[in-house]
Structure 1
Amino acid sequence: MAKHAFAVYGLKVAPRMHPENKVDVANIDGNGLSVAHLARGFLASIRDSPFTDDRYQQYFSVNDISPAGQQVRFTAGYGGYGQEGEMINVKNHETTHKFARDESATVLSRNMLVVPDKGDTALYFAERYGGRGSASFFLRQMKAAFRRRMLNEQLILHHESLIDHQAWSEYLQRAKLTGVQVVRYGISSDIAEGVSADVVGRLRYEVKPRRGAAGLGQRLKDLLLSKEVKAQQILGLSAELEKDETRLDLDDGNQQRQLIIGREEPPALAYLIPYKGDGRPTDDVVFGAMERVVPVLMQQLGMEISSNWNKGAWSADQLNVRMGAVRGD
């Protein structure tokens, strides 16, 4: 798994019950209110009072909020809590710290949200360090805050994973096929009568490389991707059922992804941050890597963004936009 990387998500706004009617994310209310302004207000509420989710035992904090131009950057801390234990040094096997149920081992991540000059998609960049980040928690809580903030306007915030399609194509070419699965949610008609699909539940059939092999082979991967061969044939299943789900496990040495055949969108693909030093890359390195992808994705989405999109101080009105976190009250 890539140690230094980031994922990208698209944020869209649409009226409740009409997700197809997208709203300009740079001008939600017709008076210049941007998703970035609301995001900064939401982040400020977390900075002032870190979020604890007792239901899922998760902790989320924010600092270093930096709005400029059409973007806002921030650093977030995320971790779980609710268990007691010890931190062990795996080199000398000594206990370095004991933690209680109300302590959280957080991981800090750098994040950036960018809006276009005009368009229906804002970009949210989320750093992942060693496979961990705060994107899921941030998106879930911001969507809840947005829904309450825009209740009278009946607007909803949606999100989706975004990737550079060329990067995805290149990943498919170099990745090894490390597993083939068929997940079956029904049962074949040749199973004995009296056995209910509800009783059987979900059946999983799987094939993995033999011990010592790096993968299942390029030829098999190509045949499955082109649908010239069905996974059911590989697994010795007599037929393909309507609700069967075929999953391909892929690994290029940096990141592992699972592709579900037939799904319109590919899985989220992490962008690697070029860094060979010790420790973690600086803010300049992380945000610089994110910035280089902005124009690529804006063009891919058919939107425009000015060349100085990351420059310019915000006005007092923009900095005063509020959107508080929903804390179960």
Structure 2
Amino acid sequence: MTVTRLWVHPRGNRKELKDLTTLPDGSDLLHLFHGFAADVSPDKLLKATTESFANVHAVSPKGRTITMAVDVGRYGETGAITNVHTMVESGRFSKDDATSVVTHGVFLLPSPGTSALLFTERSANQSGVLRILELFAAKFKTAYPDLILETESLVESEAWLKYAKLVRVSAYTHRRSKDLSDRSDVTLQTQPLGELAHTLLPPRGAKSLPRWVYDQLVNGDLHAGQLLQFSHDEEPDETEVTLEGNNQRKTFVLGREKRPSISYPLSDHGEDVWTDHRIRTFALEQAEDLFDRLGIDWSPADAIGTWTQAQLDTRLVNASGQQT
């Protein structure tokens, strides 16, 4: 599960954060997002470029929260459905059939609040909830042309980074067939051949690498090529580090982001998937701390309460007053 922050500012003024619960027309972003998620059809969620499919199963509002269950999967291939215990084929699927699972999302917005949080469950790196967010952002732009809806992944706190242990460093360089041009049996080409990877792991019996290795890599005092003994004329294309702390392991590429994105492991191979209730409860357990980092108050009272019919009926409308 990852966490996305949403906030709104006037066009041309990124520093002025708007209260999401009272937009210029008086609308509440929480109610607008609920209406959009409740109405969006599977054909809108279909994405041909990635051959991905999504379909909303349930949208459940409660208090200042919305819990969503969204079917997500891939299509575009043909094949057989086989029972792995009997090895008997039980059916076939075509390019128009999608193999899918249900993933969840939890949208939280306290009142007042200049930021909302969207907790997103992924399966095999797929999430139908993020597709809903992508389409909602496009519709928001039409409904509020003078405002910009921003989204970004929340990253781990400085405290987590400070105390996390370094457990792996890997560096990669892309190899091409011309690198082997000194061999008489290799045709001179420039097509990608593969990646050369050098990895540093803790010594036998140790659980982590020295912390100074990570600190110096980040500060630029130590180069991955030097650390991992690449040849003098070869510099790694990217360096990847793995940190571990509080029963969580994060892997990220140095230079792409200062801190790794927050990600919570939920279920592993062979374990039961989480229910809607368990997903929502978990998101609420993290909410107060995450909102506090953003300078926003979240209380247990925000998680309770029944919506009015008017709130349930709220929808995005464009500049002409038509529902988008």
TM-score, normalised with respect to structure 2: 0.76
Q: How does 1:1-329 map to 2 (within 5 A)?
A: 6-29=1-24, 31=26, 33-46=27-40, 51-129=45-123, 131-151=125-145, 154-165=146-157, 168-169=160-161, 172-173=164-165, 175-181=166-172, 206-209=197-200, 218-219=209-210, 220-221=213-214, 223-225=216-218, 227-234=220-227, 235-236=229-230, 246-250=238-242, 252=244, 257-263=250-256, 265-273=258-266, 278-323=271-316
TM-superposed deviation, 1:223? 4.2
TM-superposed deviation, 1:278? 4.9
TM-superposed deviation, 1:50? 6.4
**Does structure 1 retain, via aligned residues, the 8 Å contact 2:33–2:136?**
yes
- Of structures 1 and 2, the one scoring higher in RCO (CA 8 A, sep 6+) is 1
TM-superposed deviation, 1:251? 6.4
Q: Which has the higher mean CA deviation after the structures are superposed, 217-226 or 115-124?
A: 217-226
Partner SS state of residue 309, structure 1 = helix
Q: How many residues are treated as equivalent by the alignment?
A: 298
Rounded Cα–Cα distance in structure 2 between residues aligned with 1:41 and 1:161: 23
TM-superposed deviation, 1:10? 0.3
**Does structure 1 retain, via aligned residues, the 8 Å contact 2:77–2:95?**
yes
Structure 1: tracts of 5 or more residues without a match: 1-5, 184-198
Partner SS state of residue 135, structure 2 = helix
Output the amino acid matched with 1:52.
L
**Does structure 1 retain, via aligned residues, the 8 Å contact 2:171–2:237?**
no
**Does structure 1 retain, via aligned residues, the 8 Å contact 2:56–2:71?**
yes
Rounded Cα–Cα distance in structure 1 between residues aligned with 2:206 and 2:92: 41
Q: Which has the higher mean CA deviation after the structures are superposed, 301-310 or 136-145?
A: 136-145
Output the amino acid matched with 1:179.
S
Rounded Cα–Cα distance in structure 1 between residues aligned with 2:208 and 2:231: 21
Partner SS state of residue 314, structure 1 = coil
TM-superposed deviation, 1:310? 1.2
**Does structure 1 retain, via aligned residues, the 8 Å contact 2:63–2:302?**
yes
**Does structure 1 retain, via aligned residues, the 8 Å contact 2:107–2:116?**
yes
**Does structure 1 retain, via aligned residues, the 8 Å contact 2:20–2:28?**
yes
Deviation per residue, 1:197-229 (Å, 9 max, x gap): xx999x97641358x989996034454245431
TM-superposed deviation, 1:24? 1.6
Output the amino acid matched with 1:15.
P
**Does structure 2 retain, via aligned residues, the 8 Å contact 1:107–1:133?**
no
Partner SS state of residue 40, structure 2 = helix
Rounded Cα–Cα distance in structure 1 between residues aligned with 2:81 and 2:249: 28
Deviation per residue, 1:69-97 (Å, 9 max, x gap): 21111111111222222233344433233
Deviation per residue, 1:231-268 (Å, 9 max, x gap): 23234465999xx8643242659876443334554232
Rounded Cα–Cα distance in structure 2 between residues aligned with 1:213 and 1:80: 41
TM-score, normalised with respect to structure 1: 0.75
Structure 2: tracts of 5 or more residues without a match: 175-189, 318-323
Rounded Cα–Cα distance in structure 2 between residues aligned with 1:30 and 1:322: 12
Partner SS state of residue 122, structure 2 = strand
Share of identical aligned residues, percent?
23
Note closer, same or farther for the CA distance 1:267–1:141 as it changes in structure 2 (3 Å cut). Answer: farther
**Does structure 2 retain, via aligned residues, the 8 Å contact 1:50–1:59?**
no
Output the amino acid matched with 2:107.
L
